[in-house]
Structure 1
């Protein structure tokens, strides 16, 4: 990280159930990471995972007329945490890809340091974390 900052930092945004929201989510996260002075290959990993989680939310977790919430933290513990909240049921898991689909959580599993699924009423939270070096501002 290039800058000294106060932590923790949180960004969140709601996205409608539209295919273009995946691109918007990627841009939103890339801008947040740049604001925090974080870039490079690890930032690319975060953006790829956001793209996969947002796509999964659209395809499997967001009923018509709804959307999903994206939350992004830069945490004092030296982590970037991504959460995608949706209102769909089901429990996501890593599975063998089938043709053109099924690769999303395989990619998240490969790129993130940790990931998982949490409960939400209604729906679920799919999250992933990335260990990063963080420089905090002295108080």
Structure 2
């Protein structure tokens, strides 16, 4: 991953509670990765953006609220965060149609959930081989 050239960068955007915004979140992520010259694993990163945004819409964004996509470049690690204001904690469940976090777990190097008030932040990290 070509991240070491621009450490300490952050971009974020809020999206309304509507499923068509998942495509806009993916486009924002692709635009950011291109601007940051991220050349390793962009498809995995965008896939995680898609899954995390979809999960936020399905389970974490109350009516009239938004979710926020934040991308952070720590130099040798890129982090995707999706912030929502809904209750509960994201976790992998054994339900049909519940594979979004399994996909995130499979393609990212690390993922997790942090509480916020209100809601939570679900994040995934992608590390460079240089870390």
Band the TM-score falls in, shorter-chain normalisation: over 0.9
Gap regions ≥5 residues in structure 2? none
Q: For 2:3 and 2:62, how far apart are their aligned partners in 1?
A: 40
Specify which of 112, 115, 118 is matched with residue 116 of structure 1: 112
Whole-angstrom distance in 2 between the partners of 1:3 and 1:107: 23
CA contact (8 A) 2:109 2:127 kept: yes
What's the C-alpha RMSD, in Å, of the aligned pairs? 1.7
CA contact (8 A) 2:2 2:128 kept: no
Question: Runs of at least 4 residues of structure 1 off by over 4 A?
Answer: 1-4
Distance of aligned partners of 1:89 and 1:5 in 2 relative to their CA distance in 1, 3 Å threshold: same
State the TM-score, normalizing by the size of structure 1.
Answer: 0.87
Residues 6 and 73 of structure 2 are in contact (CA less than 8 Å); yes or no, is this contact kept in structure 1?
no
Match in the other structure for 1:107: 103
- SS of residue in 1 equivalent to 2:71: strand
1:23-47 Cα offsets, whole Å, 9 max, x none, are 000000011001111135x110000
Report how many residues are paired.
130
Q: Indicate the larger mover: 15-24 or 125-134.
A: 125-134
1:81 has 2:79 as partner: yes
Q: Per-residue CA shift, 1:39-82, capped at 9, x if unaligned?
A: 35x11000000000000000100001001011001112x10001
TM-score (norm 2): 0.92
Distance 2:3 2:17 in 1: 35
Q: Are residues 1:12 and 2:12 paired? A: yes
Question: How far off is 1:95 after superposition?
Answer: 2.1
Q: Which has the larger radius of gyration?
A: 1
> Secondary structure of the residue that 1:108 maps to in structure 2?
helix
1:90 Cα deviation after fit: 1.0
Q: Which 5+ residue runs of structure 1 have no aligned equivalent?
A: 135-139
